[in-house]
Amino acid sequence: MPEIRRTLENLARRATGHGSEVNFETDVRSLMEKGASLENAQREVLRSALADLQTELAGGRYLDHLKSPAYRRFQGAVQSLFGKHGMDQLAGFRQWAGNPSVFRTPRVASPNLPEATRHFHDLKLGRMPGHFILSDFAAEREVFNALAARLARDPGLAAATDLRALDPEIKADIGRLLLAREALRRHEERFKADVRHEQALDNLKRAGKETAAQMWAAVPQYFRDVEMALHGNPKWTKRGGKWEKATTSYLWRLTKFTGVTVKFLAKESWAVLRSTPELAAELAALGRMGVTYTRTRERTF
Amino acid sequence: MNQETLLILIQKSFLPEPQKQELESWLNSGASEEQILAKLDDYLAAETERRGESYQQAAAELDQEYARTDQDYAAAKNELEENLTRRLSEIPVSDAVAKDVAWQEYYDQLEKLQIEREKKVKAIVLQQTLSP
């Protein structure tokens, strides 16, 4: 029964986004079944995740750590051990990361702006964030890499018999690593939101222009009807490589319509339309009046 | 062309009602087909031109409004960025928490600004839809 209960609980935790924590606990149990103590199993799984993270970073997956499976393992371990379901100490870790008397500022490489630029370029959103965002992104990534390396080889962590009694410096490193990762994620997510915002505005602006163009819709329609009355309803016509179905004109049904008088009527009026090519182009772009219509008009008259 | 055809041409046209009525009364008073078509043609030409001007005016007004909104947004965003840069320069390099808070606040303010901008553009579009 306890096994079933735990399975159900784990399923619920996976469904609510805590799958990496469940994976960590499963790994720990697996080591314990092989004879390790709880403390040793927890430490080894945490260190294994850090080692995998190092391998990923060293293997050229520098840009991929936002989606890194090894980071998810590390995050799962940290959340399970120190998060709300564990010792609930992560807020304290983050505070220590900002305390210069506890946190040992790591020696980091110069921020690699071209790599950061490539990261955002690879998102294929057609835009780039501002330079100050790119700079911070690059800087935080160096901090992330440096701290991941330092934690992986930290003798204090390697020798820890109880993770609850870790040195504050190590806890501060974990806190800073989480902050760096959150900063990277925030920059990326906010950049995507910026792009979505601009796209939404472009759509709104286009809608406004289309509304303004609607007052024009009656003009080309009237002349289209006149033309169809003159030259017949083409039913299906191939224009610009595309087949178009013409609508049935009310004038088309008028059998006594004479070409001479309508030609006189249309010639003068369409000359006015022809005199506003910018407008015709704008309408054409908005799909209110086909370009083919303009061509037909010029050919006919 | 018979009278019925002429009447349809007038009624289905995009002319304002007073001009349609004027043409219809001409038609009923026995004016010749040539006269009515010439008058209709004049009116159509004038109305086409008027609508073209109205459209161009409306489009120009929209462009102006959009440009003004964009300018306001760019200025406010620039101010936010300057504030953030100033604030970050005052935070010690080692204080990651204060830096994190500064960035979070910057992004929160930017989000508010964007929501405000979207509201303004929606209002402009709505006004355009409701205007005659």
Suggest the residue from A179, A211, A275 to mutate for an interface test with chain B (most B CBs closer than 10 A).
A211
- Stretch A75-95: mean pLDDT, rounded? 81
Q: What is the pLDDT of residue B115?
A: 95
What average pLDDT does chain A have?
A: 74
Higher local confidence (pLDDT), B54 or A40:
A40
CB distance B88 to B55 below 8 Å: no
- Whether residue A213 lies within 8 A of chain B, CB to CB, comes out as yes
Q: Which residues pair with A238 in a beta bridge?
A: A243
How confident is the prediction for chain B on average, in pLDDT? 86
Q: Is residue A64 pLDDT above 80, yes or no?
A: no
Classify A127 in phi/psi space as left (phi over 0), alpha (psi -120 to 50) or beta. Answer: beta
A 100-129 near B (Cβ less than 8 A):
100, 103, 105
Confidence label for A71 from pLDDT (cuts 50, 70 and 90) = confident
How far apart are alpha carbons A214 and A212 in whole angstroms? 6
Q: How many C-beta neighbours within 10 Å does residue A147 have?
A: 26
CB contact under 8 A, A200 and B118: yes
pTM (2 decimals)? 0.70
- Which chain B residue shows the shortest CA-CA distance from A101? B94
State residue B132's pLDDT score: 53
Contacts of B51 in chain A (CB under 8 A): 215-216, 219
Which residues form the domain of A60?
2-207
Give the model's confidence band at A226: pLDDT under 50 very low, under 70 low, under 90 confident, else very high: low
Q: Min CA distance, B50 vs chain A (Å)?
A: 10
Distances (CA, A) of A242 to A224, A293, B96: 18, 13, 60
> A207, A240, A273: which is the final residue of a domain?
A207
Q: Which has more pLDDT, A81 or B105?
A: B105
Same structural domain for residues A180 and A225? no
Q: What type of residue is A8?
A: L
pLDDT above 90: residue B124: no
Please compute the mean of the pLDDT values over residues B61-70 and round it to a whole number.
91
Q: Check A176 against B96: CB less than 8 A apart.
A: yes
Residue in chain A closest to B73 (alpha carbons) equals: A198
Residue A290 has pLDDT above 70, yes or no: no
Q: How far apart, in whole angstroms, are the C-alpha atoms of residue A59 and residue A67?
A: 15
Q: Look at residue A232 and tell me whether its pLDDT is greater than 60.
A: no
Q: Which of A187, A189, A269 to mutate to test the interface with B (most CBs of B within 10 A)?
A: A269
Amino acid A239: pLDDT = 63
pLDDT score for B61: 86
State the DSSP string of B78-110: HHHHHHHHHHHHHS-TT-HHHHHHHHHHHHHHH
Interface test with A, best of B48, B79, B117, B126 (most A CBs within 10 A): B48
Decide which of A207, A236, A254 is a domain's last residue.
A207
Kindly tell me if the per-residue pLDDT of A248 is higher than 90.
no
Domain co-membership, A225 together with A200? no
Put simply, whether A284 touches B (Cβ < 8 Å) is no
In terms of pLDDT, which residue wins out, A180 or B56? A180
A224 and A258 part of one domain: yes
Does the CB of A269 have a partner CB in chain B at under 8 Å?
Answer: yes
DSSP per residue, A223-235: HHHHHHHHH---S
* Per-residue confidence band for B128, with pLDDT thresholds at 50, 70 and 90: confident
Checking ipTM against 0.85, whether it exceeds it is no
| Average pLDDT of the segment spanning A160-171 | 85
Binary contact (A211, B128; C-beta < 8 A): yes
Q: Does A211 touch chain B (CB under 8 A)?
A: yes
β partners of residue A237: A244
Number of domains into which chain A is organized: 2
Are A60 and A181 part of one and the same domain?
Answer: yes
pLDDT digits (tens, 9 = 90+) for B21-35: 999 999 899 888 777
Q: A103 and A188 in one domain?
A: yes
My answer on whether A258 and A138 are in the same domain is: no
Q: What is the pLDDT of residues A185-217, one digit of tens each?
A: 899 999 999 999 999 999 988 888 877 776 666
- CB contact under 8 Å between B51 and A182, yes or no, is no
pLDDT at A55: 81
* Domain end (from A207, A239, A268): A207
Q: Clarify whether residues A56 and A171 are in a common domain.
A: yes
